[in-house]
Structure 1
Amino acid sequence: MKTILSSLFLIALSSLQAQNVADYKYVIVPQLFKYFVKEDYQLNTGLKTALRKKEYEIVNENSIPLDVQINPCLATKANIENTSVAFKNKLKVTFTDCNNNVISTYEGSSKEKDFTKGYQEALTFAMNQVGKQNAKDLPVTKTENTTTTTVKETTNKVVTQVSKKTVENKNVYKSNGKNYTTASTNNNVFVLIDQENSQVIAQFYPAAQQNIFHVTVISQNGNYQTIGYLNENNIIIEYKTGDKSWSTTTYSK
């Protein structure tokens, strides 16, 4: 049953998606837009400025906040496309969710002949249509014994708990010359964090047997499920090394 609950927890957490850009607190803004790789026309700076005025928090792709690392669906990703036609500078600002589904699109245009001024004016017209950030706590639900209950701790509150405990946590583990620490969320769920860059590298969910956990490994090549073990002084994770091969890594106090 706990295996099912852990799976349902993950599914519920990752499937919490807002319907409008205003429902998101975080916006991931790439350093470059593929339609403006050769010349940016100050669009990156202009977009960030416009979003901050509407109280969104800007996320750099190389520095992801802890709560977004735990649940990527808390952030939307922005993109700017060049849709210009003859004698008119046009662009489209698109926001996508964690599954790359488009949630909001805004267009702007300008008759200004100078490209930088024209694209900036078009961006202003597009961003004037974007609503002010109004993100709300998103509830997480789980099912137990065919009865659905609402977990009172929302994802944002859980992340706040993680952040606070990360500061207070004195459990430092070492592996391959690097330091790691743990932070608990709720119901015996915890994360393992690389202290060097404050990134979550694994999430642990209790299994049926004591000291055995279902583990979600956070990887740049894609997250995957594995198992982990916990004793008084060690955390052990079975990492995937190939399609059908695994190896263990031990993190020791």
Structure 2
Amino acid sequence: MKKILLLLVLFLTANAFSQNVNDYEYVIVPAKFSFLKVDDKYRLNTNSRLLLQKYGFKSVFPSDSMPSEIANNNCKKLYFDLAEDNKLLITKIKIVLKDCREKVLFESDYGTSKEKELEIAYNKALREAGKSFDKLNYKYNDKNNSSITQEPSKTIVSETDSETFYFAQPIANGFQIVDNEHKVIMKLYTTSQKNVFIGLKGNTNGVVISKENHWFFEYYENGKMISELLNLKF
């Protein structure tokens, strides 16, 4: 009987989380997490934003432009945070989503990593924690922002030279992409999805995804999404 009650409580709790989170379209990702001293240290904030976008949220930094009804009403936004619980030689973090009253609407499972290099460790733990979104099944229900109208975002497709091919070489947690002269062009980091990578090209962060048997590097530039075709061979 106790097991049945416990399962019922867990079921109702999970549905309550989902229902509440679904009321929000925008999630604010801080420029810096409290346990780190530098903005976007280890690119953890940028990768958190990309992770949210992967699961359908509109994730933004506090300095980004937003519809006025969102920007001027804190209670129409969710707030993203990471909680750290590191142990000896283990990096351990979880994702927390709160409303404007600091009420926790969603907590992920802890993601962990034993990697020694902190940038790799934190981002691996973030990806592990992000797998909890698979169970959340987020879908915005337009409850909070039904009166808001926005211009549809435009995607600019950028095609590379059809004669230029890039090759993927395995590295820790992903691949480095090189050209015909073996020059490193960008790096890809694995995610929980087979054909989705976090892409890093110079100072540009985005995702590399497979669509219709082609690879694309997608990222935001001046508020517009760029989809860059890659002649990529693994």
The two structures have a TM-score, normalised by structure 2, of 0.50
Normalization by structure 1: what TM-score? 0.46
Q: Over alpha carbons, which structure has the higher Rg?
A: 1
